Structure 1
Amino acid sequence: MVMKALQYVRVGAPPELREVPVPEPGPGQVRLKVTAAGACHSDSFVMSLPEEQYTASYPLPMTLGHEGAGVVDKLGDGATGVAVGDSVAVYGPWGCGRCLQCAQGKENYCPRAAELGITPPGLGHDGSMAEYMIVDDPRFLVPLGDLDPADNVALTDAGLTPYHAIKGSLGKLGPGSSAVVIGAGGLGHVAIQLLRSLTTATVIALDVSDDKLALARDVGAHHAFPSDPSARERIAEVIGVPAVTAVFDFVAAAPTLELGAALRGVESDQVLVGVGGGQVDVGMLLAPYDATVRAPYWGSRPELMEVLALARSGHVRVETERFSLDEAPEAYHRLHEGTLRGRAVVTP
């Protein structure tokens, strides 16, 4: 049996839709019939790596897709905890399952994953941009229940990542606080909703795109300004002080990091979520006292369950554009061009 899969085949070339064998689950593994797969800027980042960096970390060809949802289709020997027909979401940052972090569900921070060669689907081995995918262990599957897979698959990253980033600053985001979201695209527009649901902070969105600023307003930002040299002054005008409580940077390129640093005050948080490759200075006399710079990564399995609970209660939703598997190359082209309103979701 063969299936269609969107694969990265040649370094520097666009991904290709190919026919490949349907995978069989090994001992302890689960095969999913994929119902939805999300396209993410992390995929674009991987595909932008030069050959020497790419080949040191990732295989070729590789089926893309680290946001995945599906129906359990077949169980390998010894796989328990799920049943054929279950609708599930895939938790992406896999770990060893045995260390202290994994025991707490924080497999995103597993210290042994790299040495053991454990990688996320679509970011080191075949992922969800296919008709079927293999999941190494049932513990990486979270029940979707009655949630629509296409509407919610992006929550496995675009929801989980900002949720984890924001949770680290929740203690500061009480009455009178302010939160700036830089980049109101796929992750940023979800971050705005989470900040409105979880905090009483004044939420300010910054972006270079008028369409994304409109999206930010639509999903609940109190204010939305162009991310340009006037942003700092405009933020000070609406909150009454020059510094903000927290900055969540979903771009993390040099200009946004510079802006975020300029917005810091005493005990502020500057949270770097994007993979734009910029750097920020830290240290005594280089920043306001007790200002914090954090670079969180993805999120834990319990946090994914919490994000899905927020979706069930209507507190968060992902703006999506749907594509068939045949249209998946166009989804990545639109992602690269920045013309998506929210997230691209492929529905095999």
Structure 2
Amino acid sequence: MKALKYKGVHDIGFVDVPIPEPGPGQVRLKVTACGVCHTDVTFKNNPELAVEPGLTLGHEIAGQVESHGPGVLSPPLGTPVVVHTIWSCGNCRQCVRGRQNACLSTPSRLVPPQGPGTRYDGGMAEYVVVPVTSVVHAETLAPELAAVLPDAATVPYHAIYSCRDLLTPGASALIIGVGGLGQFAVSILRAVTPARVIAVDIRDSALETVRNQVDAVLNSNSDNLPDRVVTAAGGHGPDLVLDFVGSDATLRLATSVVAPYGTVWVPGQAGGTFTIDTDRRTTTIPRGATIVGRPYAGTRQNLTEVVALAANGSITAPITTYPFADALHALDDLDAGRIVGRAVLTME
């Protein structure tokens, strides 16, 4: 079969490899679609963050169960599924609580649990072997939508679900960066909360994709942007801020507008920093605010609930599809910023 492998920095290409055999507790999937993520581009371009050479890329996987490993009896062969992005140990105290994204089987507290396309061979291949505990049924979903749900939808859903007690009638949420994850965040907020939604992005084209779904859109270059955000949020700032960029500028914005006892979640990984000023005479961070840095993925239950929302038509986002043979073109388009929404490879 053909697989898209990371060979080294700036070197990703197709390789012919044997079809993998599922081991105990595993199933083999015939891949139907696989998302292309900025993580894949990062591996390609940044040697400090790259994976081991020889790894098959792709952590957003949709497929059909094609074969069972020893001891596995379900799902039935042919069942369409999606794959959770974290393959946790299942035994530590966090996993027992259902918090696979906090699994303690990692080598240090700073290393997150891994999964397909990061430590194990991923879904940019004709077939992939995955733990049966990682699959979620997705019978009614188009493969290209199903593929992006484990990352692009589950990450914002995890944040929104975790902060659901904040998002009561009259509350507001700010989305900074309305790319693929930000667009799903808007869709999820509309589907499961009554909150007002404000979108901020530096790209007018991105803002146009969500203009009809949100209560206010603001370009990052707007004059007096923090004041305008606070006003749009009703005068006291947004109760939840989701920063899908994570730059110095967006972190300053997030912490300067969040409401008292509100929460800032920072899934963005642009390398920004901010300072917590504890002097109440000069600080811009309000009383009681919570800042959640480096939130990681989501739980398997989060993914199950996201699939259900997508299945009933409650959430969606723009998707650009490419044939699997054009995977390198898709990576280049994503790297160059030519994609609004998510890119997905489809298998023919």
Q: Using a 3 Å threshold, how does the CA distance of structure 1 residues 283 and 169 change in structure 2: closer, same or farther?
A: farther
Instruction: Please say if 1:174 is aligned against 2:195.
Output: no
User: 1:250-275 CA distances to partner (integer Å, 9 max, x unpaired)?
Assistant: 11111111111111231121110111
Residue of 49, 52, 59 corresponding to 1:59: 52
8 A Cα contact 1:235 1:242, kept in partner? no
Contiguous gaps of at least 5 residues in structure 2: none
**Partner of 1:289 in structure 2?**
287
**Partner of 1:307 in structure 2?**
306
Secondary structure at 2:272 match in 1? coil
Residue of 82, 87, 91 corresponding to 2:84: 91
Cα shift at 1:196? 1.2
Secondary structure at 2:141 match in 1? coil
Instruction: Please say if 1:127 is aligned against 2:118.
Output: no
State the distance in 2 between where 1:95 and 1:101 align: 10
Instruction: Please say if 1:79 is aligned against 2:72.
Output: yes
Instruction: Please say if 1:26 is aligned against 2:19.
Output: no
Cα shift at 1:138? 0.7
Q: Using a 3 Å threshold, how does the CA distance of structure 1 residues 288 and 236 change in structure 2: closer, same or farther?
A: closer
8 A Cα contact 1:34 1:130, kept in partner? yes
TM-score, length basis structure 2: 0.92
State the distance in 2 between where 1:118 and 1:321 align: 29
Q: Which amino acid in 1 is paired with 2:260?
A: V
State the distance in 1 between where 2:107 and 2:20 align: 24
Q: Which amino acid in 2 is paired with 1:22?
A: I
Q: Which amino acid in 2 is paired with 1:217?
A: R
Q: Which amino acid in 2 is paired with 1:18?
A: V
Q: Which amino acid in 2 is paired with 1:20?
A: V
8 A Cα contact 1:6 1:325, kept in partner? no
Secondary structure at 1:31 match in 2? strand
8 A Cα contact 2:187 2:317, kept in partner? no
Cα shift at 1:14? 4.6
Instruction: Please say if 1:262 is aligned against 2:261.
Output: no
Instruction: Please say if 1:224 is aligned against 2:227.
Output: no
Percent of aligned pairs with the same amino acid: 38
8 A Cα contact 1:80 1:138, kept in partner? no
User: How many pairs are equivalent?
Assistant: 339
Secondary structure at 1:306 match in 2? helix
State the distance in 2 between where 1:216 and 1:282 align: 32
Q: Using a 3 Å threshold, how does the CA distance of structure 1 residues 71 and 240 change in structure 2: closer, same or farther?
A: closer
Secondary structure at 1:187 match in 2? helix
State the distance in 1 between where 2:12 and 2:201 align: 28
State the distance in 1 between where 2:276 and 2:73 align: 47
8 A Cα contact 2:101 2:112, kept in partner? no
Instruction: Please say if 1:211 is aligned against 2:205.
Output: yes
Q: Using a 3 Å threshold, how does the CA distance of structure 1 residues 251 and 89 change in structure 2: closer, same or farther?
A: same
Q: Which amino acid in 1 is paired with 2:123?
A: S
User: 1:204-249 CA distances to partner (integer Å, 9 max, x unpaired)?
Assistant: 111111110001214x111111112522232234334152212100
Q: Using a 3 Å threshold, how does the CA distance of structure 1 residues 18 and 157 change in structure 2: closer, same or farther?
A: same
Moved more, 280-289 or 67-76: 280-289
Superposition pairs of residues 183-198 of structure 1, within 5 angstroms: 183-198=177-192
State the distance in 2 between where 1:279 and 1:66 align: 27
State the distance in 1 between where 2:232 and 2:79 align: 48
Over the aligned positions, Cα root-mean-square deviation in angstroms equals 1.9
Secondary structure at 1:113 match in 2? coil
Secondary structure at 1:159 match in 2? helix
Contiguous gaps of at least 5 residues in structure 1: none
User: 1:306-339 CA distances to partner (integer Å, 9 max, x unpaired)?
Assistant: 1111111211013111111111111111111111
**Partner of 2:46 in structure 1?**
49
**Partner of 1:148 in structure 2?**
142
Cα shift at 1:125? 2.0
8 A Cα contact 2:231 2:237, kept in partner? no
8 A Cα contact 1:233 1:242, kept in partner? no
Superposition pairs of residues 232-243 of structure 1, within 5 angstroms: 232-241=226-235, 243=237
User: 1:56-111 CA distances to partner (integer Å, 9 max, x unpaired)?
Assistant: xx310211110001111111212233222111110111110111221233211101
State the distance in 2 between where 1:283 and 1:20 align: 54
8 A Cα contact 2:86 2:113, kept in partner? no
Instruction: Please say if 1:319 is aligned against 2:318.
Output: yes
8 A Cα contact 2:168 2:193, kept in partner? yes
8 A Cα contact 1:266 1:291, kept in partner? yes
User: 1:177-226 CA distances to partner (integer Å, 9 max, x unpaired)?
Assistant: 111101101100000011111222110111111110001214x1111111
Secondary structure at 1:346 match in 2? strand
